[in-house]
Amino acid sequence: MKKIGVFTSGGDAPGMNACIRAVVRSALHRGLEVAGIYRGYQGLIEGDIKRLDSHSVSSIISLGGTILRSARSKDFMTVEGRKLAYQNLQKEGIDGIVAIGGDGTFTGANIFMQEFPDIKIVGCPGTIDNDLAGTDHTIGFDTAINTAMEAIDKIKDTANAHDRLFFIEVMGRDAGYIAMAAGIATGAEAVLIPEHKTNLDDLVKVLQNAHNRKKNSSIVVVAEGEEAGGAYEIADYVKSRLDIFEIKVSILGHIQRGGSPTCLERVRASRMGVAATEALLEGKSGVMIGIINNEIAYTAFEKAIKKAGDIPLKYMDLIKDLN
Q: Identify the active-site residue in 12, 95, 103, 129.
A: 129
What residues contact 223, with CB distance under 8 A and at least 6 apart? Answer: 169, 170, 171, 172, 173, 175, 176, 178, 179, 191, 192, 193, 194
Q: What DSSP assignment string belongs to 114-167?
A: HH-TTSEEEEEEB-TT---TTSSS-BTHHHHHHHHHHHHHHHHHHHHHHTEEEE
Phi-psi region of 250 (alpha: psi -120 to 50; beta: other; left: phi over 0): beta
Side chain identity at residue 17, one-letter code? N
From the CB of residue 285, how many other CB atoms can be counted at a distance below 10 Å?
18
Instruction: Note whether 272 and 138 are within 8 A (CB).
Output: no
- For the purposes of burial, counting CB atoms within 10 Å of the CB of 30, is it exposed (0-12), middle (13-18) or buried (19 or more)? middle
User: Residue by residue, what is the 3-state secondary structure of 52-73?
Assistant: ECHHHHCCCCCCCCCCCCCCCC
Residues paired with residue 218 on neighbouring β-strands, in sequence order: 165
Rounded distance, CA 26 to CA 32, Å? Answer: 9
Q: Which pairs with CB-CB distance under 8 Å and at least 24 residues apart come from 263-268?
A: 264/142, 265/14, 265/15, 265/18, 265/139, 265/140, 265/142, 265/143, 266/15, 266/18, 266/61, 266/62, 268/15, 268/137, 268/139, 268/142
User: Is 129 a residue of the active site?
Assistant: yes
Catalytically annotated residues: 129
